[in-house]
Chain A
């Protein structure tokens, strides 16, 4: 194993690999250390059920493809990642047999919405058109730059008179929930439910104050949901390949135990095996903030009040995900196809939420540790990517919003509950797709919130966003104001994971933004910012 390099990156998720690949392309000797047996973090694809069935254990939806700068800069396609943008992106199917579909073709989406409300369809058309116009600007301003403060942002929006130029961008959004945004602009409960569901799958809970500010951006990419052919792990492999091609090294089964600090400066790490690796220039961590600041760094190296704040003030998501991974012999045939045949071709499907009130009720229940009656979302990747299952078979994924800590026994209560709750989720699916009888499932495997935190230890408490998405935990406030610009109180120790702005999901943002800060500090010529 290498004993010395320029930069050590802790964690080979997509942010760590992204940062590593950029630095390697800049001529630095980079080592990325990964606790698990493979790179990828949440980009994890495994044969959880039977051989030949490729299940995306965690990240399934890639919505920033061709929007995030690293996709082009690091040539992820040339490095082997192939993407499909399903024609029917998403659907909501309701108990009364009706359905709403979102297409890559805006006209088709509006036609589907118009069956519920012509006025809402027109509003959506305006919102989508406007959002598409400013999505690049928003991405460049909000996502792929170290964050501004909400105050700076508000001031700029006011100075540019943005509120007077668009009905959908307003300074007051910073105080509003997505529900309030939807209530102001839309009328039909099912359309509002679908748009709120879409936000929730992106981690933006519809009843949390302040998240309305991100909603136009979500709509700007509502038709850019893409799936990685052969499984999400292919993206991790492409990033690793770029890293390796430019001289970087990724070491798996390399669990970091300690960050070495000399005279207030990070100079390397010690692995759990006792091996030491020296970093001449910097150490960047992409794992949980608690791991980095409390476990890896000696207590005396940072102010005690910061340790206390990391321990007590870092906010994690208050809901997690329960998944069912299925190996199937038939595609779902939804009863609602009689209403809208396109539901049978929809990639991501909301099974049953018909109003924002129903979503809100489940959030309230989940926050108290209760298990909702399943209304999972379903995705059959094989519809568009037949390589993820043996010929004539299909790979299915159900995701149910769920608590990490159950009210009657905490997270440990998930032990032994996976099959029971998974069966309830499958039953819920069958209500909408009656052909999915038990014999159509060769096998299935549950994956609980507890499983998430065990497999991906940086997703503390099943927190798949590595930090709540809320107004006081976004932009420069994430994960804490004093750690919100990717630097730490320790010289040359950086934070580059999803604990940082913008957040989790396959955004590439935290790694890319940390790169800007590291490049400034290390005097690296930012070739990627060439105008």
Chain B
């Protein structure tokens, strides 16, 4: 089982996504780069308070080509979507404790990009999210959520 936010975990997420979308038909053509910005909130031990960790996933024809953490020099690709939120929220999502759609509806995760596309691909988006939330058995070396005083 991979540790959260490690290259092994990113690969496991990618594989989980691809295993699930393999069952789907009518996947969208084209490629999209999706940024995930996780903001340190003083609660999650995985992102220092006041700093942030940035990730980018590339989706090609519905499959995940890669998912990786990017450094200070930026994503290196043109982005189509960006999701930003507190680290505790993303940790809870990755642990399957918080529904990402709920988090978006509550405004705790902010989304940028063509929302129409996401709405039109709702079933596909649901599959991507489900792979992220429960597709990987994850280890939490510095402690697992829920944290005391977590997002809820």
Q: Report Cα–Cα, A145/B105, bound state, in Å.
A: 18
Whether A522 is near chain B, meaning CB under 8 Å from some CB there, is no
Query: Do A133 and B126 have beta carbons less than 8 Å apart?
Result: no
Q: How far is the CB of B26 from chain A (nearest CB, A)?
A: 13
Whether B107 is near chain A, meaning CB under 8 Å from some CB there, is yes
Query: Do A531 and B35 have beta carbons less than 8 Å apart?
Result: yes
Q: How far is the CB of A491 from chain B (nearest CB, A)?
A: 24
Whether B123 is near chain A, meaning CB under 8 Å from some CB there, is yes
Q: Report Cα–Cα, A159/B128, bound state, in Å.
A: 13
Q: How far is the CB of B129 from chain A (nearest CB, A)?
A: 10
**Contact count band on B:** 20 to 34
Taking each of A136, A153, A166, which has the highest tally of chain B beta carbons within 10 Å of its own beta carbon?
A136
Q: Report Cα–Cα, A27/B80, bound state, in Å.
A: 23
Q: Report Cα–Cα, A137/B113, bound state, in Å.
A: 10
Whether B79 is near chain A, meaning CB under 8 Å from some CB there, is yes
Report the stretch among B2-10, B44-52, B114-122, B134-142 that lies at the interface: B114-122
Whether A82 is near chain B, meaning CB under 8 Å from some CB there, is no
Q: Kindly supply a per-residue 1/0 record for chain B positions 71-106, scoring 1 wherever the CB is within 8 Å of any chain A CB and 0 otherwise.
A: 000000001111000000000000000010110111
Q: Kindly supply a per-residue 1/0 record for chain A positions 121-155, scoring 1 wherever the CB is within 8 Å of any chain B CB and 0 otherwise.
A: 00000000010111111001100011010001101
Query: Do A148 and B122 have beta carbons less than 8 Å apart?
Result: no
- B80 cross-chain contacts in A, Cβ below 8 A: 531
Taking each of A135, A140, A148, A161, which has the highest tally of chain B beta carbons within 10 Å of its own beta carbon?
A140
Query: Do A132 and B107 have beta carbons less than 8 Å apart?
Result: yes
Query: Do B105 and A159 have beta carbons less than 8 Å apart?
Result: no
- B114 cross-chain contacts in A, Cβ below 8 A: 145
- B79 cross-chain contacts in A, Cβ below 8 A: 531
Q: Report Cα–Cα, A159/B126, bound state, in Å.
A: 8
| Contact with B115, one of A141, A155, A162 (Cβ below 8 angstroms) | A141
Whether A420 is near chain B, meaning CB under 8 Å from some CB there, is no
Q: How far is the CB of A73 from chain B (nearest CB, A)?
A: 13
Whether A160 is near chain B, meaning CB under 8 Å from some CB there, is yes
Query: Do A160 and B122 have beta carbons less than 8 Å apart?
Result: yes
Q: Report Cα–Cα, A134/B104, bound state, in Å.
A: 7
Whether A165 is near chain B, meaning CB under 8 Å from some CB there, is yes
With CB as the reference atom, state the residue of chain B lying closest to A141: B115
Q: How far is the CB of B4 from chain A (nearest CB, A)?
A: 25
State whether A137 and B111 are in contact (beta carbons under 8 Å apart), knowing that A160-B101, A162-B105, A531-B35 are contacts in the complex: yes
**Contact count band on A:** 20 to 34
Query: Do A156 and B122 have beta carbons less than 8 Å apart?
Result: yes
Query: Do A145 and B82 have beta carbons less than 8 Å apart?
Result: no
State whether A134 and B115 are in contact (beta carbons under 8 Å apart), knowing that A159-B126, A160-B126, A531-B82 are contacts in the complex: no
Q: How far is the CB of A244 from chain B (nearest CB, A)?
A: 30
Q: Report Cα–Cα, A134/B111, bound state, in Å.
A: 11
Q: Report Cα–Cα, A124/B111, bound state, in Å.
A: 25
- B102 cross-chain contacts in A, Cβ below 8 A: 165
State whether A133 and B101 are in contact (beta carbons under 8 Å apart), knowing that A156-B120, A531-B81 are contacts in the complex: no
- B107 cross-chain contacts in A, Cβ below 8 A: 132-137
Query: Do A137 and B105 have beta carbons less than 8 Å apart?
Result: yes
State whether A165 and B115 are in contact (beta carbons under 8 Å apart), knowing that A134-B107, A531-B80 are contacts in the complex: no
Query: Do A145 and B115 have beta carbons less than 8 Å apart?
Result: yes
Query: Do A152 and B105 have beta carbons less than 8 Å apart?
Result: no
| Contact with A153, one of B81, B82, B101, B119 (Cβ below 8 angstroms) | B119
Q: Kindly supply a per-residue 1/0 record for chain A positions 151-192, scoring 1 wherever the CB is within 8 Å of any chain B CB and 0 otherwise.
A: 011011001111001100100000000000000000000000
Query: Do B105 and A133 have beta carbons less than 8 Å apart?
Result: yes
Q: How far is the CB of A168 from chain B (nearest CB, A)?
A: 10
State whether A134 and B120 are in contact (beta carbons under 8 Å apart), knowing that A145-B115, A160-B126, A531-B82 are contacts in the complex: no
Q: How far is the CB of A155 from chain B (nearest CB, A)?
A: 7
Q: Report Cα–Cα, A162/B122, bound state, in Å.
A: 11
Q: How far is the CB of B55 from chain A (nearest CB, A)?
A: 14
Q: How far is the CB of B45 from chain A (nearest CB, A)?
A: 26
Q: How far is the CB of B38 from chain A (nearest CB, A)?
A: 16
- B115 cross-chain contacts in A, Cβ below 8 A: 137, 140-141, 145
State whether A133 and B35 are in contact (beta carbons under 8 Å apart), knowing that A148-B120, A153-B119, A155-B122 are contacts in the complex: no
Q: Report Cα–Cα, A165/B81, bound state, in Å.
A: 23
Q: How far is the CB of B35 from chain A (nearest CB, A)?
A: 7
Query: Do A134 and B105 have beta carbons less than 8 Å apart?
Result: yes
- A130 cross-chain contacts in B, Cβ below 8 A: 105-106
| Contact with A166, one of B105, B110, B113 (Cβ below 8 angstroms) | B105
With CB as the reference atom, state the residue of chain A lying closest to B78: A531
Q: Report Cα–Cα, A141/B112, bound state, in Å.
A: 10
Q: Report Cα–Cα, A148/B122, bound state, in Å.
A: 13
- B125 cross-chain contacts in A, Cβ below 8 A: 160
| Contact with B116, one of A136, A148, A161, A169 (Cβ below 8 angstroms) | A148
Query: Do B105 and A165 have beta carbons less than 8 Å apart?
Result: yes
Q: Report Cα–Cα, A155/B123, bound state, in Å.
A: 10
With CB as the reference atom, state the residue of chain A lying closest to B82: A531
- A165 cross-chain contacts in B, Cβ below 8 A: 99, 101-102, 105
Q: Report Cα–Cα, A162/B108, bound state, in Å.
A: 16
- A166 cross-chain contacts in B, Cβ below 8 A: 105
With CB as the reference atom, state the residue of chain A lying closest to B109: A137
Taking each of B79, B113, B122, B125, which has the highest tally of chain A beta carbons within 10 Å of its own beta carbon?
B122
Q: Report Cα–Cα, A401/B134, bound state, in Å.
A: 54
Q: Could you write out 30 A-B pairs with CB less than 8 Å apart?
A: A130-B105, A130-B106, A133-B105, A133-B106, A134-B104, A134-B105, A134-B107, A136-B107, A137-B104, A137-B105, A140-B111, A140-B112, A140-B115, A146-B116, A148-B120, A152-B119, A152-B120, A153-B119, A159-B122, A159-B123, A160-B122, A160-B126, A161-B101, A162-B105, A165-B102, A165-B105, A531-B35, A531-B82, A531-B112, A531-B113
Question: What 8 A-B pairs are tightest by C-beta distance, nearest first?
Answer: A159-B122, A133-B107, A156-B119, A531-B79, A141-B115, A133-B106, A156-B122, A140-B115
Sample of 8 more A-B contacts, CB < 8 Å, known A135-B107, A137-B115, A140-B112: A132-B107, A133-B108, A134-B105, A134-B107, A159-B122, A531-B81, A531-B112, A531-B113
